[in-house]
Amino acid sequence: MKPSPAAATLTPPTLSRRTLLGGLGAGSLVALAALPRRAFGMPVFDLTRLVPQTVVELTIEETDLEFGGIRRKAKTINGTVPGPTLCFHEGDAVTVRVTNKLSEDTSIHWHGLKVPANMDGVPGVSFAGIKPGDSFEYRFTVQQSGTYWYHSHSGLQEPEGMYAPLVILPRHRDPFQFDRDYAILISEWTPDAPPAVYRNLKKIDGYYNYHKRTLIDFYRELQNAPDNAARRRVMDERLAWMRMRMDPTDLSDGPEDTVFLLQGNDADQNYTALFEPGERVRLRLINGTALTFMDVRIPGLRMTVVQADGQNIEPVVVDELRIGNGETYDVIVQPYEMRAYPIVAEAMARTGMALGTLAPRAGMRAEAPPLRERPLRTLADMAGHTGHGEASGVAPAATGPHAGPGAKTAPTGATDPHAGHDMPMVMGDTMQPAHAMPPAAQSAYRKLSYADLRSLASSHESAEAPLEVGVRLTGVMWRYIWTLNGEKLGEAQPVKLKRGQRVRLSMVNETMMEHPMHLHGFFARLVNGQGDRGALKHTFIVNPGQTVVADFTADEAGAWVFHCHLFYHAMAGMGMAFLVDGLPARS
């Protein structure tokens, strides 16, 4: 099967607030796109049958689409959501020509790719953007392999539909064996268009939180308390939440009637990945949502995680993993039975799920598991951070990891993104294949932790003492203002680095929400107890009240943004920039 070029197949100089917001917050299947979109889901491709390309044509336009009974306009790439899955080969020079048929500027960012700064696709930072009616050619040499994705970096075009998988085949033999290969991008389709979602979030605190605790709930808790001490704890906790202007049920910003998609298929369209019993099936999981942390599992099968953010890791066998916005994980499963298995990506807030099927033949549909109980936040989640109001004080951009008012001491290293989950994480043997787990490990339900992520190869990075860059994740949640170090995107001066300089990035979360922090231009090695084998990542989940630490080398000149990949948080101001040896002359 030979893919057509149209299908694009798979197998600034001044960093002002105005220009930065232009990049983060201002303002295939072409034949299939002409048919009623609700008639069928996106086709499912086994990537082992497809070949990489070096020249790709992409067209950005507005299209009417429908998912889960919700019909509205979308910003599309080649007429579909998601856009065409691209496949490159490590070491190839590629050209991607993007034509803008929208009535507004647009862009494409290569999420996780090492590219020259002027090819990174952030308007106002690395290039001017693509004007209506214009075309732009992205040209770069592919320096890596693995699972990535590409999306718009202009306003809210990404959650409006401009996203798609990107798979890069390795120059040398893949270290992991598999028989089938599927890219699965998880995304969301909100009942309100993304610009309206953002306006609502800015307008009313907790606009989409339909589970706020009421006075009746308070009286019920008091009535159920066994003694005066317990009643006092109930009152103290309620007062603490009131002082923070927070609600423990506030787990996600988005509408609860959001439709979740697997590779452009809603639950009725039943995304289906096929297998023959005994085959090893690789699933390339990508969280392309703008609002939602997803908990992924395949009931009846254990998953062997072999890659994180496109980088090979020592295999880890788990039953479930949490994937933050912008993260990718590759897993291998080996089903032996002639039956359908559900592929479940459940929203962290338990408001819904994306559902598909892993099956031995087309037309089978796995039974959907029920939504699990909605978790509640506790004051312990904040590790004592009870001052979540106006951001107070601003830490210098290059300081120790816990500098600044309100920063609490946390262990140096990466924390577990599954802390506070509804089931305990149990450590088991990590190097056994999924179908040959020892009996003791088979019986323990296990979730992936950042502490598990160990690179397949050791690093050869400089031993020089790194520059300490402390970044406080701050904000005023009830006003939907999100900041870094107490400053909105573009208000702070960029952190200036020398090319080749080692940097220790300490992300300290002083808010009551998880944040997936995405670093453009570089991979950073997790400081997670694995020494020089800590996994390389470009996106990091930072839990409330916790700290994640990662080291990187500033080996690419130019301006690079660092921002929360909850795209509405970035829109509200949660970003900053690194400036490495000034800007390249061509930027």
Helix (H) or strand (E) run with residue 323 in it: strand 320-323
Half-sphere exposure for 28 (CA within 13 Å, toward CB): 28
CA distance 576 to 494: 7
Q: Is 151 annotated to bind ligand?
A: yes
CA distance 36 to 334: 36
Reading the block at residue 307, the tokens are 């890659």
CA distance 357 to 366: 6
DSSP designation for 552: E
SS3 234: helix
How many degrees, rounded to 5, is the angle at CA 529 between CA 527 and CA 530? 90
For tokens 């990535």, the residue is 148
Helix (H) or strand (E) run with residue 31 in it: helix 30-33
CA distance 28 to 499: 40
Q: Is 111 annotated to bind ligand?
A: yes
DSSP designation for 395: -
Amino acid in position 356: G
Q: Is 565 annotated to bind ligand?
A: no
> Which of 280, 319, 578 lies closest to 443 in space, CA to CA?
319
User: What's CA 417's distance to the chain center, in Å?
Assistant: 13
> Which of 130, 253, 114 lies closest to 122 in space, CA to CA?
130
CA distance 357 to 301: 12
Burial of 32 (0-12, 13-18, 19+ CB in 10 A): middle
Q: How large is the C-alpha radius of gyration of the chain?
A: 23
CA distance 313 to 211: 39
Reading the block at residue 79, the tokens are 């007429």
The beta strands (E) that lie in 455-571 are given as 467-476, 481-484, 495-497, 501-509, 515-519, 524-526, 536-537, 539-542, 547-554, 558-564
Known binding residues: 111, 151, 162
Binding-site annotation, residues for Cu cation: 111, 151, 162
